[in-house]
């Protein structure tokens, strides 16, 4: 039941991502790869960009690499869920967010050959990104915060997921 909810969450993220990309493509024509609509001048723009790389257009044209990394992510997460290493609901929700974002961008890469990006915070010189990128990053940050600050409480109780605790050395 819960896995169905996670799949639905990932599907909603993919749908929201594809809808915002469709809105961008239909309402902001791109010439020479980009077009800008100043939503809040000097702070936030909607910028229609066709990105063939990752963030800041790194690794341009390496679609096969991004497909391989996405497939590896799904394979590793699948094995960790199957082996019952990942069982906590919060972790799984974070992974569903990451998966939804990864699938949204994977669809663009495979079907279009590039990813459509549109959100541009020009106040800080940041990469132009999309809904899928947002969910990948939010999921990763939430998972990292969980692992650093909250999962530690489980370790204090002796519930170790990544191996056995080191033996205590007695001070004599």
Which amino acids are annotated catalytic? 117, 133
Q: Which residue has the tokens 């910028």?
A: 47
């Amino acid at each position: 039941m819960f896995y169905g909810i996670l799949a639905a969450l990932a599907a909603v993220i993919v749908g929201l991502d594809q809808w915002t990309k469709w809105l961008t493509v239909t309402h902001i024509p791109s010439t020479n790869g980009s077009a800008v609509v100043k939503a809040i001048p000097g702070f936030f723009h909607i910028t229609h960009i066709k990105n063939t790389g990752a963030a800041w257009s790194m690794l341009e044209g390496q679609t096969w690499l991004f497909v391989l990394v996405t497939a590896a992510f799904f394979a590793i997460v699948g094995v960790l869920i199957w082996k019952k290493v990942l069982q906590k609901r919060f972790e799984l929700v974070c992974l569903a967010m990451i998966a939804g974002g990864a699938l949204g961008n994977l669809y663009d890469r495979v079907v279009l050959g590039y990813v459509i990006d549109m959100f541009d915070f020009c106040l800080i010189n940041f990469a132009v990104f999309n809904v899928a990128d947002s969910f990948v990053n939010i999921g990763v940050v939430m998972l990292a915060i969980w692992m650093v600050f909250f999962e530690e409480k489980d370790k204090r109780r002796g519930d170790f997921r990544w191996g056995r605790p080191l033996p205590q050395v007695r001070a004599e």
